[in-house]
Chains A and B, each alone.
Chain A
């Protein structure tokens, strides 16, 4: 068995046996929902339905119900899209990259992080659809055989690369997530008393028997999928950034975008994981599994990626000045001092300044501070996309075409609707899925469980 140094903090607190873990993880699925869940779920559902209404209104009437104009052709739609895609980066990064790097602390958070990934990619995927003027022709973007002769999609277009990148990322993430879920579904199946529940989990668990062959295949598939998913984590946001980077618009036409977007995505993804897990561990009493140490680890990642993003912001400004291109210089000057200075200031404060608090151990191990900061970071990251999209577009080359953008209630409604939709999915997930990858976590119990570590230490004294 893997031996872990006693200096390392235990990953599972308390005197836990395998059975204890099973019981703790299965509890939310096996018990009825508390009142707080119902309140949260109803709120999310209302927001979701409001968003659905706004989407239907848009599709029925036209994109004109949004605040866009002839100069600003994208605003909240693509801002939201990039924001959600960014959020959807943490899960796969945690489960794939940390798996390859054998970071065991991922075990108690990867399930929920991946769920979050999938749910936020669903939100993200909505926007490229509904932002189309003719969504009923959305299938044109797929390179499918058609009756129009040699009519093919335009492989030069980053928007097309987006289609491939997002759909690949979504399907790989979903499969990866599901494979991990199989032993856990089997666990719930085995414990289920009610026949309907048992039946459902029987189907979901794909006949998992826990045999050595099953485990071997499970490990192999996980490793292969992790290998597949790892480049995707980096590629998706790289390609999203190319929507902007390959254009000719000052403020978009920037080679720094791919790494800067990926860092920003991980930054915002971890912030969202924090937001969700701090609530989940509290409500589901999972403090023993999602420990302060987990929170601290993620805060360090937030601090590092936030600083990378900060460096990117400053590099952009420097390059704008250094390039000598008057349009580029004006674009960045306008970002900081033009009509949208407040958006730029919000972005800078939230994304660059606020994560620096995490240098202090006291703050990065403080749950309430972490929770607030995680929300601040996501506000900042939303503004980052807004700043990139709207302030670059609204004043580009010809001053005659300059304009402004202001959202309508529909813009706001759709955004709130996706937040509602996200939480509807997450809340349903939290009550029906094992929120911790218990089967995998159990592999770390004997090496990283608090009681076992203590035992090791005691043996050492003898």
Chain B
């Protein structure tokens, strides 16, 4: 009940005396005698402020001002009036959600603190793509990207959603009324509810088209499966059932078809009897090829013919084959032999975007009986749906003027399409143009309306990544900007009331049949994923399933592949995506730009990879300058008549002679301050195929690279211990994992036994150890980005990486094998100087190993003894601590670290202008991603891996609250959690039941540089290579 109570301050007020009235009108109750004071000039002049007084006042006010300036600025924070029930400051909440950007898909858990998403973790409930990659880990920073479009725009002016949506609808209706087409251009859509909304939206217009465009397309493969199994979808590869994996140009550990196979790959490659063998035939040195047991170098034009040759071999057919040389034939014969021995448990994967190659690979798998056990045609993957033919016919229609309106959603065709297609000119002819985009990208400038999309962490959604998987997305934060989901706009246009959340929920209830227990909406939302029996009712608008699949036309495919091989001329270029930047959607993510490429170890660039032989013939060079920074040639690249200027060149060991590689996703001009101007746009010379022949390059000057590793070989040292599977199985451990032994007066002793120091007590408290399985590590870099997120590791930008000052707490060293070793030197009588010089050179076809290295937490740490102020010291739990507050920055510890894992804050990364464009901490939104549990380090202090001490403390605290000792699995480091192959294990070795204790006792375990006597808490597991 409202009251009209009046409160009075004095009786005069109550009776409303005139004096009160008067007082109310005046701001000041009494007049201030300013006029009296300053008006009388005479008096003022005669008044005496002596020089002494003046100085006194001056002195006082200076001192007062100085003191006042010392006070810290007051930052007001407002407490909750009503605290949300689930939100406890300091305690993180986790939400399951789903990421899909048209290329990458993952089921993830989002860690939020005080309402801010700050970390992405893999969702352990997920059965499909439940692992994270570097890019998935990095997505959380893309949420806080200040380069995002923050409100709807029309012709470059701000507008509001209501009028923009209303205008677009009106204009589209007008155009449709004139008989013009209305085109919706999206990336791959896997959301059933969105598809349903699109279908409803389509029904409004008589002439509607939904075109799907994937930047890196699998259109050719999809065309094949459309014809063969009647679905525009790819079969699920059940890698866990494979004993022999053959990739022909298929970078399945990188980005093949969107299906993440790393986990299964790691599982089947566990050393022991039955360890799967992996053979890779490829042109570039890919992440997949670098992990293979055997790698065959072959030009991309010959990949198809290689598949035909294999098919002929396994099936006994005699299809026509392109001109393979004898060397290739010999290697392929060996592969055929092995495939025949592994019928029903092998898989041949074809790369690229080519119908005939996929047909041949599928035919091989069929002939070997690998379908459907390994190549599962009953379980379809929907992550690639782009249709290249539809895209080009759409562009032609736009040119001819038959398109009246175009709406693009989450795609950037002006960047990802080859300019020769003429998208930019075509779209200008469309009267109504609107784009839903996360930023004013290269394509948004061509559109009348630019409408901002929400980030996936701000969105609701559902997804059907495969025919058996259903996933939900939920927002973890309110939209930061004035953005909408495309679904919301569609609902406005269709005229649906309510929110998209309501629609999604009712759609779920009506259409989704979740198997495996009757899970309700809340449970599925909680889990993030569910298994479904059948595809939901809403049909893909794009596909038109045929009743009967026709027989495969293999001789036709073989002829196409032969023509491909015979028709190739000049240099052949393979386009690929990098582990960090991928297709370029997240190009403005500094973490991903700074992540060094797993193979070349170069960050902040894309470049042509070329073989040494070709580089020498063309007069191209790579060399390190006096500061250890890499310089190299840059060239003008011409592919089929189109040129790309200023492309840097890297000489890549293992690159097939006569081929070059170039990564897409770079060369952004309208992405944001971190991405703009980094690299060159490879899409501009790429057609829908993943490779092209007739490429040529011409020297055009010098380029400066940012690389973090300049020593490429192990120099004959036992750094990555490696053994062949046969030796591993048959020989004694002392033959392949020998412990260093020292001759002493007490006889030969190991490093642990010869000891100058008193040991710490490692019994009372938990003793934290980490095992890194070099056999499982594929070098993908997910752990590196995860470590960045978890530990607020600064991003330092291209110049500082070039100066060899990356701040990575965890790095993945990559070593190539060299043609020179002790035996060769002894055999040929080569002296030590020449031997070591030759050892520095990687082989032309090297074997590759990856080794994640972080602080080894030595129990006799060289860093601890040398710090003059004891800023780094040992814990009772086997950890090497770093007290940032105490550090004075002598860098003595870093010098004395045999593993070189300590990182110094050379600059004030959080304040120095030089890093404003790259370091998220300097961005008003970017700083929201910081983990509040971890200190942001200041200039001049040393930092390094802490084994995620904040997680250890949390784990111990939780155990303590529950009144029990810490148990295995309570604590997991960010790197271990992010690793898709579970190469990293972390735990307490005083817990004899723990997984880490088993790992420590494994025969494969060894300490890095054990002979230095550092007694690390980190140990490695010997790599086992399954050589034939």
**A residues with CB within 8 A of B:** 61-64, 67-71, 73-74, 128, 131-135, 137-138, 140-141, 151-154, 156-160, 163, 243, 246-249, 326-327, 329-330, 333-334, 337, 393-406
B906 in contact with A159 (CB, 8 Å): no
B904 in contact with A71 (CB, 8 Å): no
Q: Least Cβ distance of A248 to chain B in Å?
A: 5
* Residues in A whose Cβ lies below 8 Å from that of B712: 399
* Residues in A whose Cβ lies below 8 Å from that of B624: 404
A134 in contact with B1012 (CB, 8 Å): no
A396 CB contact (under 8 Å) in B719, B811, B889, B900: B900
B904 CB contact (under 8 Å) in A70, A337, A395: A70
Q: Least Cβ distance of A143 to chain B in Å?
A: 10
> How far, in whole Å, are A334 and B833 apart by their CA atoms in the complex?
8
A248 in contact with B862 (CB, 8 Å): yes
A152 in contact with B853 (CB, 8 Å): no
B869 in contact with A154 (CB, 8 Å): yes
Decide if B903 is an interface residue (CB 8 Å cutoff): yes
* Residues in B whose Cβ lies below 8 Å from that of A248: 862, 896, 898, 1012, 1014
- Rank and list the top 5 A-B pairs by shortest CB-CB distance, nearest first: A133-B889, A133-B940, A64-B906, A404-B628, A399-B711
Check A141/B813 contact, CB under 8 A, given A74-B895, A132-B889, A133-B887.
Answer: no
B907 in contact with A62 (CB, 8 Å): yes
Q: List 16 A-B contacts (CB under 8 A).
A: A67-B627, A71-B804, A131-B890, A132-B888, A133-B888, A134-B888, A159-B866, A248-B896, A249-B895, A330-B715, A330-B836, A397-B717, A398-B898, A400-B853, A404-B624, A404-B626
B706-726 with Cβ < 8 A to chain A? 709-717, 719
> How far, in whole Å, are A280 and B979 apart by their CA atoms in the complex?
70
> How far, in whole Å, are A160 and B888 apart by their CA atoms in the complex?
13
Decide if B877 is an interface residue (CB 8 Å cutoff): no
Decide if B734 is an interface residue (CB 8 Å cutoff): no
B805 in contact with A134 (CB, 8 Å): no
* Residues in B whose Cβ lies below 8 Å from that of A68: 891, 904, 906
Closest B residue to A69 by beta carbon equals B804
Closest A residue to B906 by beta carbon equals A64
Check A397/B898 contact, CB under 8 A, given A71-B804, A140-B888.
Answer: yes
**B residues with CB within 8 A of A:** 624-628, 709-717, 719, 800, 803-806, 811, 813-815, 832-833, 836-837, 851, 853, 862, 864-870, 886-892, 894-896, 898-900, 902-908, 912, 938-942, 1009, 1012, 1014
B805 CB contact (under 8 Å) in A69, A151, A337, A397: A69
> How far, in whole Å, are A63 and B890 apart by their CA atoms in the complex?
10
> How far, in whole Å, are A157 and B806 apart by their CA atoms in the complex?
27
B714 in contact with A399 (CB, 8 Å): yes
Q: Least Cβ distance of B965 to chain A in Å?
A: 29
A134 in contact with B887 (CB, 8 Å): yes
* Residues in A whose Cβ lies below 8 Å from that of B837: 337
A133 in contact with B891 (CB, 8 Å): yes
Q: Least Cβ distance of A453 to chain B in Å?
A: 54
A397 in contact with B1009 (CB, 8 Å): yes
B715 in contact with A69 (CB, 8 Å): no
A157 in contact with B888 (CB, 8 Å): no
> How far, in whole Å, are A246 and B902 apart by their CA atoms in the complex?
19
* Residues in A whose Cβ lies below 8 Å from that of B867: 154, 157, 159
B715 in contact with A399 (CB, 8 Å): yes
* Residues in B whose Cβ lies below 8 Å from that of A132: 888-890, 940
A contacts with B: majority SS:
loop
Check A73/B1012 contact, CB under 8 A, given A403-B804, A404-B628.
Answer: no
> How far, in whole Å, are A248 and B805 apart by their CA atoms in the complex?
22
Closest B residue to A162 by beta carbon equals B868
* Residues in B whose Cβ lies below 8 Å from that of A152: 870
Q: Least Cβ distance of A80 to chain B in Å?
A: 15
B940 in contact with A337 (CB, 8 Å): no
Closest B residue to A404 by beta carbon equals B628
A246 in contact with B805 (CB, 8 Å): no
* Residues in B whose Cβ lies below 8 Å from that of A62: 905-908, 912, 939-940
Closest A residue to B851 by beta carbon equals A400
Closest A residue to B865 by beta carbon equals A156
Q: Which of A132, A133, A326, A330 has the most CB of B within 10 A?
A: A133
Q: Least Cβ distance of A197 to chain B in Å?
A: 36
Q: Which of B886, B895, B1012 has the most CB of A within 10 A?
A: B895
B833 in contact with A70 (CB, 8 Å): no
Closest A residue to B822 by beta carbon equals A326
Q: Least Cβ distance of A286 to chain B in Å?
A: 43
B941 in contact with A133 (CB, 8 Å): yes
> How far, in whole Å, are A399 and B832 apart by their CA atoms in the complex?
17
Check A400/B889 contact, CB under 8 A, given A62-B906, A153-B869, A163-B868.
Answer: no
Q: Least Cβ distance of B917 to chain A in Å?
A: 17
A154 CB contact (under 8 Å) in B853, B868, B940: B868
Closest A residue to B900 by beta carbon equals A401
Check A157/B898 contact, CB under 8 A, given A61-B907, A406-B625.
Answer: no
> How far, in whole Å, are A151 and B867 apart by their CA atoms in the complex?
14
> How far, in whole Å, are A74 and B832 apart by their CA atoms in the complex?
28
B866 in contact with A246 (CB, 8 Å): yes
* Residues in B whose Cβ lies below 8 Å from that of A137: 888
> How far, in whole Å, are A157 and B862 apart by their CA atoms in the complex?
10
Q: Least Cβ distance of A299 to chain B in Å?
A: 36
* Residues in B whose Cβ lies below 8 Å from that of A246: 865-866
Check A70/B892 contact, CB under 8 A, given A133-B939, A246-B866, A397-B1012.
Answer: no
A396 in contact with B891 (CB, 8 Å): no
* Residues in B whose Cβ lies below 8 Å from that of A403: 628, 710, 804
* Residues in A whose Cβ lies below 8 Å from that of B1009: 397-398
Q: Least Cβ distance of B862 to chain A in Å?
A: 5
B803 in contact with A69 (CB, 8 Å): yes
Q: Which of A154, A157, A399 has the most CB of B within 10 A?
A: A399
> How far, in whole Å, are A260 and B800 apart by their CA atoms in the complex?
37
> How far, in whole Å, are A246 and B813 apart by their CA atoms in the complex?
28
> How far, in whole Å, are A332 and B215 apart by their CA atoms in the complex?
53
A157 in contact with B866 (CB, 8 Å): yes
* Residues in B whose Cβ lies below 8 Å from that of A153: 868-870
A157 in contact with B904 (CB, 8 Å): no
Q: Least Cβ distance of B805 to chain A in Å?
A: 5
B903 in contact with A70 (CB, 8 Å): yes
